[in-house]
Structure 1
Amino acid sequence: MEYFMSKKLSNEQILQLYKFTRQHYVEHYDLQTELVDHLANGIELQWQANPDLTFQEALNREFKKFGVFGFHDVIAEKQKAMSKKYWKLLWRFFKQWFKWPKMLMTASIALGLFSILRFSGQSNHKRELILGSLMLLFVTALVYFLMTKKTREAKMLKNGKKFMLADMIYNFGGGIVLAYLPLNIAIGLNASGGDWYLSPYFDWLFSLALTGMLLCGYIIFKVLPERAEQLLADTYPEYKLA
Structure 2
Amino acid sequence: MQVALFIPCYIDQLYPRVGMATLKILERRGCDVVFPSTQTCCGQPMANTGCSSDAKPLAERFLEIFSPYQYVVAPSGSCVAMVRRHYDEYLEGRPGFAELKAKTFELCEFLVDVMKVDAWGGAYPHKVGLHSSCHGLRELEMGKPSERVGPAFSKPLRLLEMIDQIELVDPKRPDECCGFGGTFAVAEEAVSCMMGTDRLRDHLGAGAEVLTAADMSCLMHLQGLGKRQQMPLQIKHIAEILNESEAKS
Q: Which TM-score band (shorter chain)?
A: under 0.3
* Structure of larger gyration radius: 1
Q: Which structure dedicates a bigger proportion of its chain to helix?
A: 1
In proportion to residue count, which structure has more strand?
2
Give the TM-score normalised by the residue count of structure 1. Answer: 0.25
